[in-house]
A = this chain, B = another copy of it.
Amino acid sequence: MSEISVLSPASVANVVCGFDCLGFALSAPCDEMTVRIIEKKTVRIVNRDDFNLPTKPEKNVAGAALLSMLRATDENFGFEVEITKHIKPGSGIGSSAASAAGAVVAANELLDERFSKLELVKFAMDGEQVASGARHADNVAPCVFGGFTLVRSINPIDVIRLDFQPMFVTVVHPQIEVKTSEARKILPKQVSLTDAVRQWSNVGALVSGLQKGDYELISRSLEDFIVEPVRKNLIPKFDEIKNESLRAGALGGGISGSGPSVFMLSETSVTAQKVKNAMRGIYSKTAIDFNIYVTEINAEGVKILDS
């Protein structure tokens, strides 16, 4: 086996009340990636798309993740990775995480699964650092583990794969730029104990609701008193999008990552389509370009394709 191809999925981080800990993988869109072993102990990037991403491995998200992995081996070979991105960088649905996670999962398959999923998350976090300057795992964890994950701690890394029932996801991506640095700068440094208690009660309730498949509980728990109130101002029509989605039957939702994409969870695909129509109705009346799609929570994460 000298090359492995994978589909590496988009993902949603900062799931409403679960800022900086809860995330899930999406069934679509996915990046296509092929990793092959090369003789030299280095990483070679071949971009097969029009995003003009860096080809220097240490500047490239997938490259940095693979370099981190190579450093953890005493092998003398390297990797070439061919990337066709379908997840637009900067959309808030984990484009960089898909590159980083897909690369290390594929490479690990070439190494006969030498590394654990948790180790892969750590390598992928070194990729994320290139993209955002922060070694966060909120998107790479669901890509590597699949499904719905909770990152309990970064240092030491502790990822929990949560039990969850199937759900449909409507994602709208208004084609505006939200700078991650700006989205970070407006976060409150301090929060009231009262709001913090409400938030952690909701996180606990959401984890329980996901596990029990109690959709009403999931819906009640999808509240964010801390981050959404400040970040929603970066996203045009956020309140309208949310209110009309709930009216259409969505369980709840919010900003994906640090935006600008907004996601809504629904129990059925029929509802998720209604949510899509409601969202389209709102952005159609504006000058904002956007795209909307309905997908599902992806239980598998990075998918290894048959060679």
Give chain A's interface residues, CB within 8 Å of chain B: 17-22, 150-153, 158, 160, 162-163, 187-193, 196-209, 211-212, 217, 220-221, 226
Contact = CB atoms under 8 A, between A and B. Distances in A.
Contacts of A201: 20-21, 150-153, 203
A211 B163 contact: yes
23 contacts: A18-B200, A20-B197, A21-B201, A150-B204, A152-B204, A152-B220, A153-B201, A153-B220, A158-B220, A160-B204, A162-B204, A190-B191, A190-B192, A190-B193, A199-B200, A200-B203, A200-B204, A203-B203, A203-B204, A204-B206, A204-B207, A208-B211, A211-B211
Nearest to A210: B208
B196 A191 contact: yes
A207 to B, nearest CB: 4
B193 A188 contact: yes
Contacts of A198: 153
A21 B200 contact: yes
Contacts of A22: 204
A160 B201 CA distance: 10
A189 to B, nearest CB: 6
Given A193-B188, A196-B199, A226-B193, A205 B19 contact: no
Contact of A160 (B151, B196, B217): B217
Nearest to A198: B153
Highest count of chain B CB atoms <10 Å: which of A20, A196, A220, A226: A196
B21 A197 contact: yes
Nearest to A161: B208
Nearest to A18: B204
A198 B153 CA distance: 7
Contacts of A193: 187-191, 226
B163 A205 contact: no
Given A190-B190, A193-B190, A196-B199, A208 B162 contact: yes
Contacts of A199: 196, 200
A226 B211 CA distance: 27
Nearest to A162: B208
Contacts of A211: 163, 208, 211
A150 B187 contact: no
B207 A208 contact: yes
Given A220-B152, A220-B158, A21 B187 contact: no
Given A158-B205, A191-B192, A200-B204, 20 more contacts: A19-B197, A20-B197, A21-B200, A150-B204, A150-B205, A150-B208, A152-B202, A152-B221, A153-B201, A160-B205, A162-B208, A163-B208, A163-B211, A189-B192, A191-B196, A193-B226, A196-B226, A203-B203, A207-B207, A208-B211
A218 B21 CA distance: 17
